[in-house]
Structure 1
């Protein structure tokens, strides 16, 4: 039996268990990245035949990957019309931002109360790199530094479950945030980050929490405005 036929069997079949370990995971990772990076925009139909060619696998890993991404809210599977990239759900975005506001707010309060010179040095180094990325008009680098800064806020607290929860909420928002990457939004984000770091450095917990809330509220506010102007990319109000 050829490899293509072997992959086109139900997951419960013994033949399915002969699949190369990691094939489905590789498709999940690659397709998730393409969706989050907006290579496949919300509402785009996902053709299984094209995906088999793109990833060099047969239909079984593609079907499994689509089911996993459906569980993550990135893909909608419709029996009569196939699979499409899910539209961004504003209700989910608001809920995930609510979670981030609570947890990251507590994280920066912790850092303002327990000022770590090592953390402050790392935060200030990151801020310097953010400014350099803006000066060089390097949006991908700025995005990576943005993620690193927020990860430092939660990871240094030392609670792995908190970090995992924030990471899950951030991943769910990442696709939406990428729609807002403009020079104006990047400049605002850098200034908002600087205000958070300054409050931590000053040992002011209330200011740190308020600056974090203002930063996250600013992002969700812009996303809601963007949704009004681009309703085809969004689901719900």
Structure 2
């Protein structure tokens, strides 16, 4: 897909090592941002939380994160395949006006199909406290949203915004999760992790809407 690839190619062609490193680092976040975020943030939060919370709570937190990433990716896969192909065709045809509509429609489909599953798993099946159930369901939906916006990352031209979003999200997830782990245990750690994921999602969504603004439409009631 055209977009960020052309910009990153210019970085790697600079006649210095720093440009090459920057190019590969930015491209790694653009193509594998959610995976890198998971590994780095989960490792940092676990390292901080291990000092102040019980092993059972730490295991519970990690299981929820791992299962949410796995289940959300499997359930989002069919929708993401269609969105990826549709977005590529829109960019090729230079008709990106509909890109935002595709994003919103895909988001509604994923929400309507995945929310009942998340509720069924964490409310009807898993033996968790009410706050943990809320945090787990929120994490499931946030991760699914992250998969969706990641499809649009390679179509963006502002690689700095992508790197900034994931960088800030990782810091917030690690710090908030670590700070909330001591007073609230696994629940606080998961809410802190959700804060980082939510920040990444909000920043990337804002960038996508800014680059692919939807034209104003006059509503007619009759």
Q: Which TM class, normalised by the smaller chain length?
A: 0.3 to 0.5
Point out the structure with max Rg over C-alpha: 1
> Which structure has greater helix proportion?
2
TM-score by length of 1: 0.31
| Higher RCO (C-alpha under 8 Å, 6+ residues apart) | 2
Between Structure 1 and Structure 2, the one with more strand by share is 1
